[in-house]
Structure 1
């Protein structure tokens, strides 16, 4: 891996002057051993993305087992996922026994630890049969543990009232009568006569509602409700993965439900926060739903270059832990075949670019904050500057010498912005202290 001191000194793709060293191959792509050593072991020990609610005690033996098997790219995803199931099942059994014995704290922690293990089994996306099973089991474990939290988090099924009809929904997913599963957490102080603001969190390519729940308690302490919802093509979103407008319909259904059914929430004070690929949808929603949002934050989101075939040809060797181009192709409705990936590279930009479809040219846009890391090699940071050139002026911050999303400094920038927008107390450090979500 190039040393950080050299980053930015010799970009080798002139189309992306900030897309440092696009011809490199980062070491974590050579073997799971390198992935664990150079990229995953440290965040696992700290309980941060993607190991929220996890424990190094659980993952170290799994990692050693995978390393002993010599797994590396391209992964057989069922073989990869199978390495996690034994540990996850044991954790779930321990949790169930603890719950039967009345040890709620232990049960909660072990359920959540099990959910973390299942999460990495289905990571980065449930593309194989066993990974899909891991996604289902992970949800069961998460909601069993979340129900035992001091402020329980429960799943809510929102009717997808803006879904297309059955004749149009050729995938068999989005249709009238389908539901949008979300996490909803409302402060106990909120009432219909004294409603609270809402932060609507749009999840990313691989982080779903079961993970980004880590943000919900911090907002609760600030008197702000949170609703965590998955973007099209991920998790349990019913929206059509290959339809550029399906996200618009999904957000309309969610916002309508909040306005009509959840009177404890002030529908005039809704702020969207999109993480990574969710940032693409947050930027789009800032335009398409400008009159329904107080503000929108795109953290690490792209808008145009993220779909460039030349960029996608490089990214499987760069910052992302696995096969980013293939995972994006799957998410955007192109399936798992190599032909589907190549088709996504050829036509994805024309189909999904917010520049080419005119979204960025629209004058109608709510207050919008764009944040990313200077060295992002998942989505080109040039997409952030591109979005600033069109339509209504936006606010932005590029975090210097940081990778995708600019963590953790980006969190301070965003929390401060939302606090000011909602008129909160400004003590955003209180929320950051609740992260990471490390298992006890």
Structure 2
């Protein structure tokens, strides 16, 4: 993990320092076929060679034409999917699974960081299709559940699609605890599936759900209270699952998902054993001063504009004007609700969401647990993962090997 992290850190330097794909290719000799570097999960470096060559040949630069950018990925993604189809027809299940998932990785980067154009939306749809084909062929298949959004309002969709994976031994007599993963700004349920097998092997069920404004979340992204309705629908559904111990549900929110997990830890405190906010903000992430500068910091794309899109705004200025309504301090969430067990964790040098927000959360409301990872940026990786998993083990009363679980996260390619 350490080696992979440092490679990823070099790839994702401030946007003005390089073009992401040119820098990626300068470092190709350091990258193995097996990739654990976010956001290339399930990917192989050689699958991206023709894509990167095409991007460089065309001289694409920010600000991207997103349709043109996404189009560069489709030929390789389609080629990989065709190999998977042929393998599936020949009964070569392992090979088919691998190539479907590799195809999904290429489609993922085509729609990254958010599907803002029609071609990127095509990539999201195609990526989902090949992901679920491949995930269905895994030793422990990951399938989509479509949860009725019973608490949604007239502006919202009526279904919440999620990934759901339960240990085979889980039953009404011996229900499993569950880690409910909240996705981030750019990582959707098909991407964070990399975490699910490791938890299953330790007897823990997992669900991966997308936050408002991302993936297929039906919640109104411009309504600060819409996540409360979405999580109520999800938790109601879980309450009815005999194989799940609904008294032992922990939410783990990644990045922007950490904002939503911190909110859920207050609004749904009685229904959750604990929450982790990894790299999440709560207040200053919505400040004008931060949003006007963050495009040139750690994130490799236009972060502020992507956030504006995610929260349902067509332009950055409109988002900046209304962004304070999402503050968990400004709307009273941090002070008016007693929270469940909370772990706040981030890198001290986070340039995606200000580390100041971690202290805002600590200074208001019910006491919380916090850990700052020194000399790391957004989310405090990789050390934060070990801290978080051990903390969840303790909440569940488990005795397991964190290192062994972490070794199962990177995809291992055979073909």
TM range (shorter): over 0.9
Corresponding residue for 1:239? 219
Aligned mate of 2:73, from 70, 79, 84: 84
Q: Please say if residues 101 and 134 of structure 2, whose CA atoms lie closer than 8 Å, have aligned partners that are also in contact.
A: yes
Distance 1:88 1:204 in 2: 23
Deviations 1:309-349 (A, max 9, x none): 110111111111100000000000102xxxx2111112202
SS of 2:375's equivalent?
A: coil
Query: 2:247 is paired with a residue of what secondary structure?
Result: strand
Cα distance, 1:234–1:44 mapped onto 2, change above 3 Å: farther
User: Which of 388, 410, 413 is 2:362 aligned to?
Assistant: 388
> CA 1:341 to 1:40, structure 2 compared with 1: closer, same or farther past 3 Å?
farther
Residue 115 (1) aligns with residue 94 (2): no
Taking structure 1 as the reference length, the TM-score comes to: 0.88
Distance 2:85 2:408 in 1: 26
Q: C-alpha distance in 1, partners of 2:28/2:231?
A: 33
Structure 1 gaps, min length 5: 1-24
Whether the aligned pair in 2 keeps the contact of 1:28 and 1:34 (CA below 8 Å) is: no
Three-state SS of the structure 2 residue aligned to 1:364 is coil
The C-alpha deviation readout for 1:2-48, integer Å capped at 9, x for no partner, is xxxxxxxxxxxxxxxxxxxxxxx935565345453589996785332
The correspondence for 1:152, drawn from 125, 133, 141, is 141
Aligned to 1:14: none
| CA distances 1:89-111 after superposition (whole Å, capped 9, x unpaired) | 00000000000001111100000
Alignment of 1:295-334 (within 5 A): 295-334=274-313
Whole-Å separation in 2 of the counterparts to 1:183 and 1:40: 32
SS of the equivalent of 1:152 reads coil
Aligned to 1:161: 150
Following the alignment from structure 2 to structure 1, what is the Cα–Cα distance between the partners of residues 95 and 83?
A: 9
Instruction: Determine whether 1:277 maps to 2:224.
Output: no
Note closer, same or farther for the CA distance 1:27–1:35 as it changes in structure 2 (3 Å cut): farther
> How far has the Cα of 1:437 moved from its partner?
2.1
1:417 aligns with 2:406: no
The match for 1:229 is 209
Distance verdict in 2 for CA 1:320–1:220, change over 3 Å: same
Contact 2:182–2:258 (CA<8 Å) still a contact in 1?
yes
2:165 aligned partner? 185
Shift of 1:368: 0.3
Q: Which residue does the alignment assign to 2:401?
A: 427
Partner SS, residue 372 of structure 2 = strand
Contact in 1 for aligned 2:252/2:278 (Cα 8 Å)? yes
Q: 8 Å contact 2:14–2:300 — kept in the other structure?
A: no
After the TM superposition, which residues 328-367 of structure 1 pair with which residues of structure 2 at under 5 Å, given as runs?
328-335=307-314, 340-349=315-324, 351-367=325-341
CA distance in 2, matches of 1:303, 1:333: 18
Conserved? CA contact 1:362–1:392, under 8 Å: no
Question: Structure 2 CA distance, aligned partners of 1:95 and 1:245?
Answer: 42
Gaps of 5+ in 2: 1-12
Q: Taking structure 1 as reference, are residues 33 and 204 closer, same or farther at Cα in structure 2, changes over 3 Å only?
A: closer
In 1: Cα distance, 2:28 partner to 2:38 partner? 9
Q: TM-score, normalised by structure 2?
A: 0.94
- 2:371 equivalent among 379, 397, 406: 397
Are the equivalent residues in 2 in contact too, given 1:29–1:321 (CA < 8 A)? no
Partners of 2:27 and 2:209 in 1: CA distance? 27
Aligned residue-pair number: 401
- Matched with 1:53 is 42
Flag the 1:313–1:38 CA change in 2: closer, same or farther, 3 A. Answer: farther
Q: Distance in 2 between matches of 1:234 and 1:80?
A: 20
Cα distance in 1, alignment partners of residues 227 and 247 from structure 2: 21
- 2:113 is aligned with 1:138: no
